[in-house]
Structure 1
Amino acid sequence: FQSQSDLAAMMEVLHHFLVKEDENEPGELDIVSVLKKAVPLFDGGFHFGGIVGNGDAFLMRDAHGIRPSYYYVNDDVVVGASERAAIRTAFNLEENEVQELMPGNALIVKADGSVSIEQIVEPKERKACSFERIYFSRGSDEKIYRERIALGYKLSKTILKAVDYDLKNTIFSFIPNTAETAFYGLIKGAEDYLNQIKIERILSWGKDFDEEKLTEMVNRKIRIEKIAIKDVKLRTFITEDSSRNEMVQHVYDVTYGTVKDNIDTLVVIDDSIVRGTTLKESIIRMLSRLKPKRIIVVSSAPQIRYPDCYGIDMSKMGDFVAFRAAVELLKEEGKEGLLNELLEKCKELQRNNQLHTENVVRHLYKPFTPQQVSDKIAQLITAADITVPVDVIYQTIEDLHEACPNNKGDWYFTGNYPTPGGNKVCNKAFMNFIEGKNVRGY
């Protein structure tokens, strides 16, 4: 097994209890008993399955429901997957035919073909990952599609205020490709505002209008352009660090002739801003060539401040532009001593084997408002030679929860980890950053 693989470690544990079970009851393997011994030892989010030598198989989900898990059973097949849409597409099914495997449960398939759902561990507070809904899961799932629409819609009021409601000189666009659905929601919000303005204006005229005046008002539209074009079918989020910076410089191009020089404000929405690398090295630079009056980058996700250890490789604190922004703010205000204070706190917890008991890093953000962090992020993602003003607008935690009501796992944004291991990884990642170690937090 690969020593760096969490799945390999889980397989080792399962293998240990499989061997014990076989020694105690030769030829009478009980996979449920094995899972009940092994799974409580796992800290984190998971959806995994396996098949053992006697033909029994299983599909297992973590107690908090951090990772999604779905299944479908008929007379011929038993199917498990982390996404409902994948099963629906493969087997041409309706939504209600694909079932969710509930947290702490396992789908057991015996060698004789019998199927059952067994509770392996006690379900805990549901903390389904919200980032699945924002970015990772397929947007073809109808619920995820509606939630991404809602994420964009909820940003519309903030953005309208940011552009001073000047829709005549504002162009809306999106960063390909995963932000497109949230973009539709953003446009719907802007259109609702514009339609309300049309109604109010027309009513205020009374009878003082002619066909030309009415036509001009009715035909007012939200200005939409496909500004950014992605040239390669690669997602820089999941690209190796060593090749990322070089690649992002060549990923995007822009559509020329769409912006009025020094008059139009460009509003571009992305699903999330993690490192800020693509924005700084490519997108902002390319957009500035169009000579807009101002660029507003919108994130359908809140500020990503903390690492993940539940199946997504985001464990280096220095990778997060929000964290780097907070560090810069501390330095600017002469408060960098807080970094050493928090480091010593982490070391003390580590000495007492208590590193998992609290998220120390949350204290780093307390001196600043979300807006202060956003303003600093805007500076960090703007290269020194770019003269066009750049602003960044993020989703709020409250609106995220309203848009994705069944996925309240928000540790990326709040640092509220559902398991002790999350706190430990976050604290360790912070220690690595301060000590100059460019390694994972786990």
Structure 2
Amino acid sequence: APLVHLALYALQHRGQESAGIAAGDGDGVVLHRDLGLVAQVFPPAVLARLRGWLAVGHVRYATMGSATVANAQPIVVASPWGPLAVAHNGNLINAPALRRALEADGARFTSTSDTEVIAHLLARTAAASLEEAALRALPHLDGAFTVAALAGGTLLGFRDRHGIRPLLLGGGPGFWILASESCAFDQVGAVALGEVEPGEVLALTPAGPRTIGALPPARRAHCVFEYIYFARPDSTLYHRNVHQVRRRMGRQLAREHPAPADIVVPVPDSGTSAAMGYAEAAGLPLEVGLIKNRYVGRTFIQADAGARQAGVRIKLNPVREVVAGRRVVLVDDSIVRGTTSGRLVALLRQAGAREVHVRISSPPIRHPCFYGIDTSSRGELVAARLPVEEIRAAIGADSLGYLSQAGLVAALDLPPGDLCMACLDGRYPTRVPTEAEAGRHALEPQGHEAAPPAARASLTEVGA
């Protein structure tokens, strides 16, 4: 558990609503989860009671189900092999249908998360072992998912057949580790050994990682938004360092959309690498024109619009002495809902910027994501409603330029056929679900009413 706890700090950027760890000793499981950041959820006294030589940890950014303790992960259910702890990244697009079938079979649900659907499916699949259950359950799961599951002395990970969300394997002195990003390995002294293949079921054993089986090969579809925004710059995904990719995106953006400007200012932090590339290619000085409040979370992954708008107001502040009287190129990674961009342009103008030219190091996001990014409603996406010129006017910029999709692919230096760019071009690697099937409220009670908040979490010990 202490090792997983450290790794979760490195992955905090992926989710800030809740955190949890389930630790096992081969017999029982000790679970602690709660709303809040890793540092808040795991004080030393709690961490000391998470005993065991196996552990699964999670930080949550809700894309299906409300931000409640009941939906915090890992989720633990009873199984033939003892308490089964499951943590999951992604989104199932057939979760409502699976849940109805499981409930008809007698499963009792305590959350509105698709993670619990996976847990009950594993527990109710006729199999002699957790490994066999995963192999048999995997073909019934549709969508994007990386899963870590723990029961008895077994810890395994598996991934959807397209590899939409990342899952990497690492190893250190006397341990093996699975994580969404390689930066978690650096935190605990592990080295990256490769990725879990799409559709693969991998067990971590004392003797080493062992492939249990895999689904038949399908088209790879790695999520481009991991590179655009989600992943940490020091992570390496699919053999590409995220910082270097974003820097190439910035260089290409400067070639496609030059601007008459005096300085380049990044929107920290996810716009910083692209801004470096833009400044290099444009021959302009890179300046720190916006200061980030380090104690405010990522505004895009806040749970609701009100929280996002409040987050923008307190998250960034301009450096007046840097921007006053100057023509500014403001580089950001994306415009999703438009919450942040208009506010930032206004902030720079209030600080005295003469002109503000907004440059975005991704193409316009015009289509919803059903695979683990909370944009399942197309009406939320400003680029789905407005052409570029109207977006420019709406955010108050002097000019607006987006990186082309071809430029993005060139910067990634990955085969286009191996990428999921559905949010950009509407070409989905799976069947296209409805929002009712895969949206934020797909498993909520009718009318999108959130389930009553659960009581504050406490340590839970579950025997075999």
Q: Tell me the residue number matched to 2:179.
A: 81
Q: Tell me the residue number matched to 2:195.
A: 100
Within a 5 Å distance, the mapping from 1:360-399 to structure 2 comes to 373-382=387-396, 389-399=397-407
Asked if the contact 1:321–1:377 (Cα under 8 Å) also holds between the matched residues in 2, the reply is: yes
Q: Give 2:317's match in structure 1, choosing from 253, 256, 262.
A: 253
After superposition, give the CA deviation of every residue in 1:167-200 in whole Å (9 maximum; x if it has no partner).
Answer: xx52211111111111111122123xxxxxxxxx
- Aligned residue for 1:46, secondary structure, equals strand
Q: CA deviation at 1:129?
A: 0.5
Instruction: Tell me: CA distance 1:224–1:70, structure 2 relative to 1, closer, same or farther (3 Å).
Output: closer
Given the alignment of the two structures, is residue 319 of structure 1 paired with residue 380 of structure 2, yes or no? Answer: yes
Given the alignment of the two structures, is residue 15 of structure 1 paired with residue 123 of structure 2, yes or no? Answer: yes
Within a 5 Å distance, the mapping from 1:23-42 to structure 2 comes to 29-42=128-141
Asked if the contact 2:164–2:420 (Cα under 8 Å) also holds between the matched residues in 1, the reply is: yes
Q: Which amino acid aligns with 2:194?
A: Q
Structure 2 runs not aligned, ≥5 long: 1-108, 451-464
Within a 5 Å distance, the mapping from 1:184-199 to structure 2 comes to 184-191=276-283
Within a 5 Å distance, the mapping from 1:53-72 to structure 2 comes to 53=152, 55-72=153-170
Bigger Rg, which one: 1
Asked if the contact 1:73–1:79 (Cα under 8 Å) also holds between the matched residues in 2, the reply is: yes
Within a 5 Å distance, the mapping from 1:40-189 to structure 2 comes to 40-53=139-152, 55-73=153-171, 76-93=174-191, 97-109=192-204, 113=207, 115-141=209-235, 143-160=241-258, 162-163=259-260, 169-189=261-281
Q: Which has the higher contact order (CA 8 A, sep 6+)?
A: 2
Whole-Å Cα distance in 2 between the matches of residues 416 and 105 of structure 1?
24
Whole-Å Cα distance in 1 between the matches of residues 345 and 234 of structure 2?
29
Whole-Å Cα distance in 1 between the matches of residues 210 and 310 of structure 2?
50
- Aligned residue for 2:263, secondary structure, equals strand
Q: CA deviation at 1:148?
A: 1.0
Q: Tell me the residue number matched to 1:365.
A: none
Whole-Å Cα distance in 1 between the matches of residues 369 and 310 of structure 2?
25
Q: Which amino acid aligns with 2:249?
A: L
Q: CA deviation at 1:302?
A: 1.1
Asked if the contact 1:307–1:426 (Cα under 8 Å) also holds between the matched residues in 2, the reply is: no
Runs of 4+ more than 6 Å apart = 426-429, 437-440
Q: Give 1:410's match in structure 2, choosing from 421, 424, 428.
A: 421
| TM superposition score normalised by structure 2 | 0.65
Q: CA deviation at 1:424?
A: 3.3
Whole-Å Cα distance in 2 between the matches of residues 428 and 59 of structure 1?
22
After superposition, give the CA deviation of every residue in 1:102-138 in whole Å (9 maximum; x if it has no partner).
Answer: 111111235x746411332112111001111111111
| TM superposition score normalised by structure 1 | 0.68
- Aligned residue for 1:297, secondary structure, equals strand
Q: Tell me the residue number matched to 1:275.
A: 337
- Aligned residue for 2:212, secondary structure, equals strand
Aligned residues: 327
Deviation larger for 250-259 or 121-130: 250-259
Please state which structure has a larger fraction of its residues in strand: 2
Q: Tell me the residue number matched to 1:216.
A: none
Instruction: Tell me: CA distance 1:42–1:268, structure 2 relative to 1, closer, same or farther (3 Å).
Output: same
Whole-Å Cα distance in 1 between the matches of residues 111 and 262 of structure 2?
52
Asked if the contact 1:417–1:423 (Cα under 8 Å) also holds between the matched residues in 2, the reply is: no
Q: CA deviation at 1:149?
A: 1.0
Asked if the contact 1:32–1:120 (Cα under 8 Å) also holds between the matched residues in 2, the reply is: no
Structure 1 runs not aligned, ≥5 long: 22-28, 164-168, 192-221, 326-372, 383-388
Please state which structure has a larger fraction of its residues in helix: 1
Asked if the contact 1:64–1:125 (Cα under 8 Å) also holds between the matched residues in 2, the reply is: yes
Asked if the contact 2:328–2:357 (Cα under 8 Å) also holds between the matched residues in 1, the reply is: yes
Asked if the contact 1:303–1:394 (Cα under 8 Å) also holds between the matched residues in 2, the reply is: yes
Supply the RMSD in Å over aligned alpha carbons: 2.6
Whole-Å Cα distance in 2 between the matches of residues 16 and 427 of structure 1?
22
Instruction: Tell me: CA distance 1:115–1:287, structure 2 relative to 1, closer, same or farther (3 Å).
Output: closer
Q: CA deviation at 1:427?
A: 10
Instruction: Tell me: CA distance 1:68–1:35, structure 2 relative to 1, closer, same or farther (3 Å).
Output: same
Asked if the contact 1:170–1:266 (Cα under 8 Å) also holds between the matched residues in 2, the reply is: yes
Q: Which amino acid aligns with 1:398?
A: A
- Aligned residue for 1:98, secondary structure, equals strand
Percent identity of equivalent pairs: 28
- Aligned residue for 2:210, secondary structure, equals strand
Q: Which amino acid aligns with 1:300?
A: S
- Aligned residue for 2:419, secondary structure, equals coil
- Aligned residue for 1:417, secondary structure, equals coil
Whole-Å Cα distance in 1 between the matches of residues 320 and 312 of structure 2?
20
Asked if the contact 2:359–2:400 (Cα under 8 Å) also holds between the matched residues in 1, the reply is: yes
Q: Which amino acid aligns with 1:410?
A: M
Instruction: Tell me: CA distance 1:137–1:255, structure 2 relative to 1, closer, same or farther (3 Å).
Output: same
Asked if the contact 1:307–1:425 (Cα under 8 Å) also holds between the matched residues in 2, the reply is: no
Instruction: Tell me: CA distance 1:122–1:425, structure 2 relative to 1, closer, same or farther (3 Å).
Output: farther
Q: Which amino acid aligns with 1:316?
A: S
Instruction: Tell me: CA distance 1:99–1:190, structure 2 relative to 1, closer, same or farther (3 Å).
Output: same
Q: Tell me the residue number matched to 1:266.
A: 328
Asked if the contact 2:275–2:286 (Cα under 8 Å) also holds between the matched residues in 1, the reply is: no
